Amino acid sequence: MSGKGADEKWTRSGRCRGETRGPISGKMITLRLLCGNGPGQSQENHPPGGRGIAPAGSVLHKRLKEKGWMSDLIAPHGGTLKDRMVDPETRGTLRGQLVDWPSWDLTARQLCDLEMLLTGAFSPLEGFMGKADYERVRDEMRLADGTVWPMPVTLDVTEAFADALSSGDRVVLRNPEGVPLAVLEVSDVWRPDRVAEAKAVFGSDDRAHAGVNYLLNRAHPVYVGGRLTGLDLPAHHDFNHLRHTPGELRAMCAERGWRRVVAFQTRNPMHRAHQELTLRAARQVEANLLIQPVVGMTRPGDIDHYTRVRCYEHLLETYPEQTTALSLLPLAMRMGGPREALWHALIRKNYGCTHFIVGRDHAGPGKNSDGEDFYGPYEAQELVRRYQDEIGIEMVPFQMMVYVEERGQYVPVDETHETDTVLSISGTEFRRRLREGVDVPAWFSYPRVVEELRRTHPPRHRQGFTVFFTGLSGAGKSTLANALRVKLLEMGGRAVTLLDGDIVRKHLSSELGFSREHRDLNIRRIGFVASEITKNGGAAICAPIAPYRQTRREVREMVEEAGGGMIEVYVSTPLAVCEQRDRKGLYAKARAGEIKGFTGIDDPYEPPEDPELEIDTAQCSVDEACQRILLKLEALGFVR
């Protein structure tokens, strides 16, 4: 052994430490260098960007390969793990050239995709898809060379940015703080048909689907494809002991002697049913178990990953020692149902897994605008089964698990008998119990998991909320908002903040005009401030005109992702009444053509489709309207 001859290990800081042991999934494991550089010696084999236990190409990987351990693992999809990180010397050379190239600040989803691409988790992709790969994936679930791949992975940019790009250009990809993470060598620039993409990939253009809504309402209109060169991986400051690249997990499997590994995907807290399901799956295929929850982007409204990971760590204590691992996946989910399930299987293959659990309604986005499920409950299983021989990872299908009282255990629903007393609690019912402080039975979950969830998700009456008034100018929004503020302060119990449209325009958005773009930006600012107030347990009362449905939807997503409730109040006072009340004469000026783009006159107001309340102030007094709002808040559990 080179260097000091000490027992050494790759640490996430990129240094070697003698006799260092680090937890992987709550179990202690040492990844020792079979041959490597001692302290103070050359760093040429250390992981780029200062991360990694044993990156591809490191000394550990080379020695594992020499002993034949790595060759026993399942091959990555496409045959080779496409790690796109460069060595320190190349990285230093590139950094000196970055100032000459255009740069793009990555969105949250693009940041997740970039990390998956740079580490090889999306192998065989070497960058964001070009047009040929994109079109065949969209239409046939295959890359241009015929390799199975079900989900587009594209870099969407604005038209203004795309207009300055040509094939062969290099673009610096930066995180939101401006740190350069990668260089993209442009191969294609094109404007996709995003509606056609939604229908092909998600089977629908219904915006009630989270993936469709993102694609049609949040993604930029132009795609840029090209090969990536990685400079640094995105920085994470949470749960670093549970974050592993595909190369790191493969090294772990090789060092532990894990040749058969079954992976379990989740974006929700795990309870007793999940524990039983995963144990059964591992026993059924005689494999070690990898619990790999998504901690990138999931479905809006999901429990935050910080809380979930603490719950997973508690749950891990219930599994047999040395057979189970926990590792976090920085994936941005698309909620694509069957296609997403196949995608998840391929990703787990790249991490070294031989089997993948697919349960009921895998990666389902919920119900469509007609109240029906987007996908059948076992449609995902059917698609993965169709391709499993070709892709080389075996599916382990499972039905819904239910608790049989007489047996005192969980079983698949198809193994129950008519005489059995079957107990189950839906996700909706579980959330209600958390929200209202109702006991959760021991057969459903583990006390430490429930305690953790209660700690970060208190009962509704202790949570923050946002009341969002919307309506025409003069409809009575500000009057109602001020009155509601006073009523809530009179009741006490939480801080109350009023974000009136005129006040926000004066203090937060004084530089904005009244174009659609500026109106949307103003409402997003209000939504951001409201979400921060809500996250910290306060009550935010917003009273802008907010004429556009999509922007109001974005505000709802911000508030709900912050862990609070959103109560949309449509103040539907008729236009004629609003004009009569107009003390500033704005409507008269708009009709005379002196004011352009005035909502309700020459710019449309899009009424809410499903508000929590609708109030016509021409038909009720301010006190009556406030009472209706308070009753709604009480019914939802936010006030007592």
Amino acid occupying residue 256: R
Q: DSSP per residue over 133-167, as a string? A: HHHHHHHHSB-TTS-B--S---EEE-HHHHTT--T
Neighbours of 572 (CB within 10 A): 19
Written as one letter, the residue type at 169 is D
Cα torsion 333, 272, 398, 405: sign: negative
522 neighbors 505 (Cβ within 8 angstroms): yes
* Continuous segment of H or E residues that includes residue 349: helix 337-350
Cβ atoms of 318 and 275 closer than 8 Å: yes
- Indicate the pairing of strand 465-471 with strand 401-404: unpaired
As given in the structure block, the two tokens for residue 228 are 């990536």
CA 456 to the chain's CA centroid: 19
Comparing CA positions, the residue from 79, 67, 60 lying closest to residue 123 is 79
Q: Is 52 left (phi over 0), alpha (psi -120 to 50) or beta?
A: left
C-alpha torsion sign, points 93, 95, 99, 103: positive
Q: What distance separates the 2 farthest-apart alpha carbons in the chain?
A: 88
Give the DSSP H/E element, type plus range, for residue 549: helix 549-561
In contact, 337 and 364? CB cutoff 8 Å:
yes
Kindly state the tokens that stand for 591. Answer: 């009709």
Instruction: Classify each residue of 430-449 as buried b or exposed e, where b means 16 or more C-beta atoms within 10 Å of its C-beta.
Output: beebbbeeeebeebbbbeeb
In angstroms, rounded to a whole number, what is the distance separating the alpha carbons of residues 572 and 559?
A: 23
* Catalytic sites, residue numbers: 266-268
Fill in the DSSP letter of residue 294: B
Phi, psi torsion values for 471, nearest 5 degrees: 165, 180
